[in-house]
A and B are shown apart, each in its own frame.
Chain A
Amino acid sequence: MLTLSLILLPVVAATLLLLIKSPAVKTLALGAALVELALAAYAFATFKADAQMQFEFDYPWIAGAGIRFSGGIDGISVLLVLLTGLLTPLITLSAFGREYDRPSTFYSLILYMQAALMGVFTARDAFLFYLFFEAALIPVYFLAAMWGGEKRIAVTFKFFIYTIFGSLFMLVALVYLYYQTGVPGKPGVHSSAIVDFYNLNLTPAAQGWVFWAFFIAFAIKMPVFPFHTWQPDTYVESPTPATMLLSGIMLKMGVYGLIRFLLPIVPAGLETWGLLATTLSVTGIVYGSIIAIRQRDMKRLIAYSSFAHVGLMAAGVFSQTANGLQGALIQMLAHGINVVGLFFVAEIIFGRTNSRFLDQLGGITRTTPKLTVYFMILLLGSVALPLTNGFVGEFLLLNGVFAYNNWLGAVAGLTIILGAVYMLRMFQKSMFGPTSARTETFDDLSGAESWVLLPLAVMVFWIGIYPNSFLKVTEPAVLNLLQYVVK
């Protein structure tokens, strides 16, 4: 029941918002998102740290075909449910600063997106997962294309088609797996529950095909080098709330898919192709970081940094170690928090100075002590300084990748150095140094903006100082999943 309400509450709220035209739309949207946060926090707090699926619901959907409308939260998805619940009210609140026209459509699209994301992370049926996976694209496409920048139409269209192209391959793989399940003695009876896919014994050749089908779908979503060409343009042209949704939560759908589908279902395929996949991921880390160092546009820089971080998460998943998986899960939470905060800071700067280009900024720290502090906290979290959330994630991930392959681990470790380079460069160029014409008068954070950045900063330290409160919740499920992975 709890899970079902996590999915349905934003849908109901969003539909109601569409019918209301008054300016109270913004507070109503925030209220709905806060209620959702309460539910998600409750789910996290009462979650038992074992390998069982909890808070389940199960209804027949296409009963004759064995496809059921079933969902639940287990150790792998609980952090992501928490992430979605936490970030959506912050994203909604962050949008208050800018007056978007047609606000009821805008905020209801954010809530629809949240419902689809909740559905992705809690689906226990493969086709339900696919339905939510695709359905999450529609609200973010409209958000980006209706309120985006100048080149938004072509860029968002490319994003939409590229992503759907990948997930159609996943559909073929899911249909194939569905037909491989069966009840012995009862021909024609199949099941699309994800756990039933884990117990399939596929031939290595078939596993190879299924591996590539899943990999392409999730690699485009995350993105992983070389399927990343849609990402920087889309992140830059979208309005910042849409970018936060994309980078904060939606790219986690790809990593979640890797953990939920790729690892347990095609372990032999992973043995054959895992090295290639890990190499691509690690290449993405270095590639993304180097390009980020050269960026002049803050938003583009953060986009490339996000691309670099997700490469490390993917490499950690492919390492097939407990450390790698735990690292991926906690880094998803950490990265979501950090990147949303960083994009919000970029938005604040843009809102005050009408520029995101680093050479036009400078010296902002003179008048903004609060902004400097929050910016620094989030930045150091992204750079993975110890005592911040990024450190926990990256440490575990690098541990996992190093255990898988020493060389790749060493190259992946460059992320710490390169990450520090571009992040600190961004901070120095925008905050320190002489003020420019645009940054002469720069007001410090308003109340609403502080309310967005404060929880993020708190989470940075909470995860950094006491990560076990999160890691112990996910550990049993991770160990349970690893038993399906052949060593």
Chain B
Amino acid sequence: MLSDFGIILLFILAAFAFISLVLFGASFLRPDRPNVEKMSTYESGEEPVGNANVQFNIRFYVVALIFVLFDVELVFLFPWATVFGQKTLINETKGLWGWFSLAEMSIFVLTLALGLAYAWVKGYLSWVKPQQKIPTVDTKVPQSLYDQVNKKYQPKAKASQPASGTV
């Protein structure tokens, strides 16, 4: 009575309906009393430190991309494995089927291994710790003068603040 496409449409509509029901229902039912601590950023229970706009470390992307490639290769290995060892096919072709499919799959794996070798030699697989650049200021004023000023204006009865300029 309903075509296959119709069933999928119904499914999508139902998903929309369900999600919107849950979310809107929840937002109606729950109390809304915000305060400063509730609205601050979550950082695993600690006080949030530093800027949230940290530059994305590109090495994550490279590793993830190479992972995806080999994961997909793995996915292709599974169906191949189901036909590779079928006794009926091997018997019919007197063992030739086994060699043939093995050769095909090894070409595939080899090509990807060549790619891996290329990435390795090019150095995309090595994880280099990011060198933090400590910003230095080039002035002729000696550090001792700064220390004097700091000591003079040290706020009383507070734990020592970290000196400016270092992280």
Chains A and B share a contact (CB less than 8 Å): no
Chain A residues close to B by CB (< 8 Å): none
